[in-house]
A and B are shown apart, each in its own frame.
With several copies, the nearest count.
Chain A
């Protein structure tokens, strides 16, 4: 897989440097290349936003679960088997008609890997990190989310080892859907707080 990928273009200076460093670290016994491949496989194919979407769909449909998620998100997410690195201590924050939550890590780019996978590049961008705490509404507009003035915006800056999962509002018109169908509606960005889920049947 790696070779296929690298053969598409002449390798960049950074690609060559990384390859050289990997060679040294492998020869010295610092890394096992199979471990490198395995952890990439984990985050590219196993751990991702489908985990968080299942948590959200269950919270939408199971009031007792939702109560547990509010009370102790780490335990409630643990029930579903979605703990792991960068998800050891979880807090779920719920959007409502009057409250919109959005998550950032201004100091680096902390993100709840175990429920959302690895963060998108925009989450790690200097623009997002610097701006969303000071002008969240302007940033959200760049994501196409234009919040009314009477909706309270709560920004969560992940400054310690607590990781945040936004529980988006359940879209209107989804009463007939079961939990797996609901989970399919839940996008990654809606669980970071930079998207609002469209009503069912609307074009988006």
Chain B
């Protein structure tokens, strides 16, 4: 989707503050982070769907802040999964204690969660096809505007670049986010000159490189 999250190349957000250098500003932010990881087993989501659930927040909610939107996503996910209803959601929003309920799931234990965090969940998959594009080949990012999740940023669409690396086949986010399966696709590192992206005023040697899935690309004319 062409959402507010697709902000590469936007003006208007001011200067970067390098002194704002901690992972969180407040204790609650760390709890939201860790709760999101700890609850993931039961939230009917996945890495890609989770990103899409951030992207589909109303734009003003998205802009409220990083962990503010993680919280908004977590409470949405908990409601989607049936763990809270509108009344308990309202109570949570007021920060009031919510009546106790029966435990009806087994949470991921600490050791299992730490194991997942410490080992990761690779997204590379073996697929039976050969990659269409070769390193060194000129490609163009397609002019796609899907309503669903995609990892093709707006700022490269329609622009020509060069394949500088092949990354293997990986879970395809556009499909995985829609809960339509992993549908793994070949993934390439594609380099775009800054001038191709931003016009001729850009410094001549500079570039931006993105990892782009094969369905995002076409051979450059």
Contact = CB atoms under 8 A, between A and B. Distances in A.
Whether A and B touch directly in their complex, counting CB atoms under 8 A apart, is answered as yes
* Range, interface on chain B: 35 or more
Given A108-B54, A114-B120, A155-B208, A29 B9 contact: no
Contacts of A32: 38, 107-110, 113
A18 interface: yes
Given A120-B20, A133-B208, A106 B117 contact: no
A23 to B, nearest CB: 6
A154 B113 CA distance: 36
Interface in B38-63: 38-39, 42-43, 47, 51, 54, 59, 63
Contacts of A130: 7-13
Interface string B118-157: 1111111000000000000000000001000001110100
B35 A21 contact: yes
A81 to B, nearest CB: 9
Interface residues of A, number: 87
A156 B108 CA distance: 34
A133 to B, nearest CB: 5
Nearest to A24: B98
Contact of A149 (B5, B13, B203): B203
B113 A35 contact: yes
Contacts, number: 306
A40 interface: yes
B41 to A, nearest CB: 8
Given A29-B106, A160-B170, A161-B170, A40 B8 contact: no
Contact of B17 (A13, A122, A154, A189): A122
A52 interface: no
A157 B78 contact: no
A86 interface: yes
Interface stretch (A55-63, A134-142, A178-186): A134-142
A20 B12 CA distance: 29
Contacts of B22: 120-121
B116 interface: yes
B83 A125 contact: no
B141 to A, nearest CB: 11
A25 B83 contact: yes
Nearest to A93: B209
A20 B98 contact: yes
A28 B88 CA distance: 13
Contacts of A177: none
A20 B92 contact: yes
Nearest to A143: B18
Interface string A1-28: 0100110000111111111111111111
A17 B38 contact: no
A128 B66 CA distance: 13
B220 interface: no
A159 B153 contact: yes
B150 to A, nearest CB: 9
A170 interface: no
Nearest to B106: A29
B78 A27 contact: no
B20 A122 contact: yes
Sorted nearest first, the 4 A-B pairs with minimum C-beta distance are: A16-B95, A106-B8, A160-B211, A29-B105
Given A84-B119, A89-B168, 16 more contacts: A12-B28, A15-B26, A21-B74, A21-B84, A25-B35, A27-B98, A28-B83, A30-B42, A39-B38, A85-B121, A87-B120, A91-B189, A121-B22, A125-B17, A160-B151, A161-B47
17 contacts: A19-B28, A21-B74, A21-B75, A24-B88, A24-B92, A26-B107, A29-B103, A30-B39, A34-B109, A39-B34, A85-B120, A91-B189, A106-B9, A125-B16, A154-B208, A157-B153, A160-B123
